[in-house]
């Protein structure tokens, strides 16, 4: 049995749990999770000539996309993975549920994989570094595929006890985690039901399912996966971070500020990733609104001195 240990750990503790049966199940789920939204999106586009979409489908797509992206970027990432702010229990629950609806894995698994990425960023053992084939043939294109999708197909079982002990000790979060598939199904049911009710037709329900459900999941999948792949390959690196992370303006809006990824690696606990006035960071805007409403507090952001001290020389 091969084990991998966490670098820098005083005790030799396993990053992943070796269990061939669970690994196979995880691989199958990963394959289905990646493929089903692709098929749904192809069908949605293929049906356009027969039943054109209207403001209803666009509205369902944009609203469901935005809600689940808030769940991922504000919730899974900045709040649960990095404790970038504190919030009320109802917002904590809402963020965990919305993030699960994005169909990128249950909250504890997502957080564990992400914390592993930060601890071993672009080093051996990183969850999804695109630099693992360095020095080999077609290293960049193979690395891109691995960081974008390939790592999920390995079916690795992350050791959450090592990376997300805080969440495992929270009974509410573990319950939400266990109900992961329920949230994914509810996330698909909401646009289906709304599409049906608004248009008063079965076709409207089907279109709601395809556009507000599967197409929405497809777009959010690849937006977030671009952060794993493109944001460790191409873009600017204004800070000394010791890894290959980059900033990238092109998908700042669809990732709700997630593509200011190099800034994030420089200041992982910051609630704000867009550090310049022009670096649009919708995730931070959401946190600011929560803060103004008294629903978020202890919001962490780097001071100008901290930013200056971290600049690459
Ligand atoms: Zn990264
Ligand atoms: Zn992070």
Give backbone dihedrals phi and psi of 290, rounded to 5 degrees, phi first.
-60, -40
Q: 61 CA distance to ligand 2 centroid (A)? A: 26
Q: 36 CA distance to ligand 1 centroid (A)? A: 26
Q: Is the pLDDT of residue 6 over 60?
A: no
Q: 165 CA distance to ligand 2 centroid (A)? A: 17
Q: 69 CA distance to ligand 2 centroid (A)? A: 15
Mean pLDDT along residues 72-89: 98
Q: 307 CA distance to ligand 1 centroid (A)? A: 18
Q: Is the pLDDT of residue 79 over 90?
A: yes
Average of per-residue pLDDT values in the chain: 94
> What pLDDT score does 312 carry?
85
Q: Is the pLDDT of residue 3 over 50?
A: no
Q: 43 CA distance to ligand 2 centroid (A)? A: 34
Mean pLDDT along residues 115-129: 95
- What are the boundaries of each domain within the chain? 16-234
Mean pLDDT along residues 274-291: 98
pTM for this entry: 0.94
- Taking the C-alpha atoms of residue 80 and residue 35, their distance in angstroms, rounded to an integer, is 27
Q: Among all ligands shown, which has an atom nearest to the Cα of 76?
A: 2
Q: 254 CA distance to ligand 1 centroid (A)? A: 17
Alpha helices of the chain — where are they, by DSSP H? 20-46, 55-69, 89-101, 107-119, 139-145, 151-153, 160-163, 165-168, 171-178, 180-199, 202-208, 216-229, 261-266, 282-292, 304-310
Q: Where are the beta strands (DSSP E) in the chain?
A: 16-17, 86-87, 157-158, 296-297
Q: Among all ligands shown, which has an atom nearest to the Cα of 248?
A: 1
Q: 77 CA distance to ligand 2 centroid (A)? A: 6
Q: Among all ligands shown, which has an atom nearest to the Cα of 80?
A: 2
% of the chain at pLDDT higher than 70 = 96
Q: Are strands 16-17 and 157-158 parallel, antiparallel or unpaired?
A: antiparallel
Q: Could you read off the pLDDT of 10-61 as tens digits, one per residue?
A: 345 789 999 999 999 999 999 999 999 999 999 999 999 988 899 999 999 9
Between residues 201 and 6, which one has the greater pLDDT? Answer: 201
Q: 262 CA distance to ligand 2 centroid (A)? A: 10
> What pLDDT score does 12 carry?
54
Q: Among all ligands shown, which has an atom nearest to the Cα of 257?
A: 2
> What pLDDT score does 148 carry?
97
Task: Assign 158 to helix, strand or coil.
Answer: strand
Q: 115 CA distance to ligand 1 centroid (A)? A: 10
Mean pLDDT along residues 296-311: 96
Q: Quick one: angle between helices 89-101 and 55-69, nearest 10?
A: 120
Q: Among all ligands shown, which has an atom nearest to the Cα of 271?
A: 2
Q: Could you read off the pLDDT of 124-153 as tens digits, one per residue?
A: 999 999 999 999 999 999 999 999 999 999
- Taking the C-alpha atoms of residue 206 and residue 213, their distance in angstroms, rounded to an integer, is 10
Q: 118 CA distance to ligand 2 centroid (A)? A: 6
Q: Is the pLDDT of residue 260 over 60?
A: yes
> What pLDDT score does 13 carry?
74
Cβ–Cβ contacts within 10 Å for residue 299, how many? 18
Q: Is the pLDDT of residue 4 over 60?
A: no
At 103, list the tokens: 């169909």
Query: Could you tell me which residues come within 8 angstroms of residue 199 by beta carbon, excluding any fewer than 6 positions away?
Result: 56, 205, 207
> From the CA atom positions of the chain, what is the Rg in Å?
20
Q: Could you read off the pLDDT of 213-257 as tens digits, one per residue?
A: 999 999 999 999 999 999 999 999 999 999 999 999 999 999 999
Q: Could you read off the pLDDT of 138-194 as tens digits, one per residue?
A: 999 999 999 999 999 999 999 999 999 999 999 999 999 999 999 999 999 999 999
Contact 94, 279 (CB under 8 A): no
From residue 273, alpha-carbon distances to 95, 225, 266, 304 in Å are 18, 17, 9, 14
Q: 116 CA distance to ligand 2 centroid (A)? A: 10
Q: 28 CA distance to ligand 1 centroid (A)? A: 25
| Burial class of 293 by CB neighbour count within 10 A (0 to 12, 13 to 18, 19+) | exposed
| Burial class of 238 by CB neighbour count within 10 A (0 to 12, 13 to 18, 19+) | middle
């Amino acid at each position: 049995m091969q084990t991998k240990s966490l670098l820098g750990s005083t005790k030799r503790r396993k990053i992943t749990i070796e269990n061939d049966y669970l690994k196979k199940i995880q691989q199958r789920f990963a394959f289905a999770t990646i493929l089903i939204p692709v098929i749904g999106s192809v069908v949605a586009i293929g049906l356009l000539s027969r039943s054109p979409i209207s403001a209803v489908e666009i509205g369902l797509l944009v609203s469901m996309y935005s809600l689940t992206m808030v769940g991922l970027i504000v919730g899974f990432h900045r709040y649960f993975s990095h404790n970038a702010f504190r919030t009320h229990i109802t917002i904590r629950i809402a963020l965990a549920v919305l993030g699960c609806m994005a169909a990128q894995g249950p909250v504890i698994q997502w957080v564990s994989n992400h914390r592993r990425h930060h601890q071993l960023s672009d080093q051996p053992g990183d969850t999804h570094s695109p630099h693992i084939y360095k020095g080999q043939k077609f290293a960049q294109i193979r690395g891109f595929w691995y960081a974008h999708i390939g790592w999920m197909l390995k079916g690795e079982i992350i050791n959450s006890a090592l990376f997300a002990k805080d969440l495992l000790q929270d009974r509410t979060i573990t319950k939400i985690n266990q109900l992961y598939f329920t949230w994914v199904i509810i996330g698909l049911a909401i646009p289906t039901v709304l599409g049906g009710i608004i248009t008063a037709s079965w076709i409207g329900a089907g279109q709601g399912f395809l556009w507000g459900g599967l197409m929405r999941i497809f777009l959010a999948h690849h937006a977030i996966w671009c952060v794993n792949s493109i944001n460790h390959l191409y873009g600017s690196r204004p800070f000394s971070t010791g890894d290959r992370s980059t900033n990238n303006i092109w998908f700042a809006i669809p990732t709700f500020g997630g593509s200011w990824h190099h800034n994030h690696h420089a200041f992982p606990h910051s609630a704000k990733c867009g550090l310049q006035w022009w670096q649009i960071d919708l995730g931070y805007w959401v946190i600011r609104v929560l803060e103004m409403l008294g629903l978020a507090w202890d919001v962490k952001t780097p001071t100008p001195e901290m930013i200056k001290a971290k600049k690459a020389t």
